[in-house]
């Protein structure tokens, strides 16, 4: 498995959706675009606008939000959030992950 196998347009869009759902840092825009360029994936500000326009804020986490990340961890962490997003059709579960499994396979047994 190579980075290009998992760093796909769909995987980057999943990342954008999770970051937006968390109320994540605007620095993520710069970093994700830079990472995408290293694997020749066309990702730009327009993708953030398009994806962001249909992605709800689900966990208002700091630095820009109200809650601490430790509070999210205390109620189960990022996996239950991603599982709910996947079940709601917001994430592409077919994306391959570093485990060698798809995102859907990784989240299959997560309790929400």
Domain ranges of the chain: 3-106
Higher pLDDT, 23 or 109: 109
Query: What's the rounded mean pLDDT across residues 80-103?
Result: 97
Distance CA 40, CA 61 (A): 31
Supply the pLDDT for residue 71: 85
Report the sign of the C-alpha dihedral through residues 45, 22, 96, 54, in that order.
negative
Average per-residue pLDDT for the chain = 93
> Is the pLDDT score of 112 beyond 80?
no
Query: What's the rounded mean pLDDT across residues 87-112?
Result: 96
> Tens digits of per-residue pLDDT, 9-50?
999 999 999 999 988 888 999 999 999 999 999 999 999 999
Query: What's the rounded mean pLDDT across residues 51-76?
Result: 85
In the chain, what are the helix, strand and coil shares in percent, each to the nearest 5? 50, 5, 45
Supply the pLDDT for residue 40: 97
Higher pLDDT, 72 or 96: 96
Query: What's the rounded mean pLDDT across residues 50-70?
Result: 86
> Is the pLDDT score of 66 beyond 90?
no
């Amino acid at each position: 498995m190579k980075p290009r196998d998992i760093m796909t347009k769909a995987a980057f869009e999943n990342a954008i959706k999770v970051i937006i759902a968390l109320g994540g840092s605007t620095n993520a825009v710069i970093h994700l675009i830079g990472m995408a360029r290293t694997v020749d994936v066309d990702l730009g500000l327009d993708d953030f606008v398009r994806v962001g326009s249909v992605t709800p804020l689900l966990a208002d986490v700091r630095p820009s939000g109200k809650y601490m990340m430790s509070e999210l961890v205390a109620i189960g962490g990022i996996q239950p959030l991603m599982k709910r997003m996947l079940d709601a059709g917001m994430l592409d579960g077919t994306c391959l992950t570093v485990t060698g499994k798809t995102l859907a396979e990784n989240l299959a047994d997560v309790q929400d």
